[in-house]
Amino acid sequence: MQIAVLALQGAFIEHEQMLARVGVSAFEIRQLRDIEKPFDGLIIPGGESTVQGKLLRELGLFAPLKAKIEAGLPVFGTCAGLLLLADKIENDDRLHFATMQMTAVRNAYGRQLGSFYTEAACKDIGTIPMTFIRAPYIAAVSGKGQVLAEVGGHIVAARQDNQLVTAFHPELNEDVSVHRYFVDMIEKKR
């Protein structure tokens, strides 16, 4: 199994470290030729969704990656990655892959003071640590979307078929269970 990590901006190295810890090999997508080789899953890290969206388009990666996700490539988006997958952002007109039926709210906890840590239950995973950094939350999921976790009455993790998103950063804690869950998703699909 090979998992590609979008490495244009943000916290991609931490995801690679988590994948190494669960025993899966990873490579970075930095330019168009990086997606010539086959891969079984894609991680879109946290960072700035607007910057990642702009770079994806400039580098010609946007259309081919969107097509792969639409064709069923398993994808895991954290924080900014969640925003790249949302088909509606309540407080931002800029949409990106828009492959997941959900309404996200950007910088939903405030711009600077919005960083916090908590622990909460995640469906099919258990209670896990959750680090939020200028995070979005999901106001609602629709269609085939499934809520996996809520914190303070807001959805912070969701899944739609082969797409998984968390508003928090599982790659910044020791617990590898969300990455393991993603690897399981890929294994079940293969």
Q: Which residues bind ligand GLN (CB under 6 A)?
A: 46-49, 79-80, 83, 106-107, 133-135
| DSSP summary character for residue 32 | G
Among the residues of the chain, which ranges form H helices? 12-21, 49-58, 62-70, 80-85, 177-189
First to last CA, the chain: 10
Strands 86-89 and 41-44: unpaired
By C-beta, is 1 or 129 nearer to ligand GLN? Answer: 129
Q: Which two tokens stand for residue 141?
A: 């999921």
Catalytic residue IDs: 79, 169, 171
Q: Which two tokens stand for residue 127?
A: 């209670």
By C-beta, is 73 or 133 nearer to ligand GLN? Answer: 133
* Cα separation, 63 vs 139, whole angstroms: 27
We find the least distance from the C-beta atom of residue 136 to ligand GLN, in angstroms, to be: 6
We find the least distance from the C-beta atom of residue 60 to ligand GLN, in angstroms, to be: 21
Identify residue 8 by its one-letter amino acid code.
L
We find the least distance from the C-beta atom of residue 163 to ligand GLN, in angstroms, to be: 17
By C-beta, is 9 or 146 nearer to ligand GLN? Answer: 9
Strands 126-132 and 137-141: unpaired
We find the least distance from the C-beta atom of residue 157 to ligand GLN, in angstroms, to be: 14
By C-beta, is 47 or 170 nearer to ligand GLN? Answer: 47
Strands 154-160 and 163-166: antiparallel
- Residue 176: alpha-carbon gap to chain centroid: 15
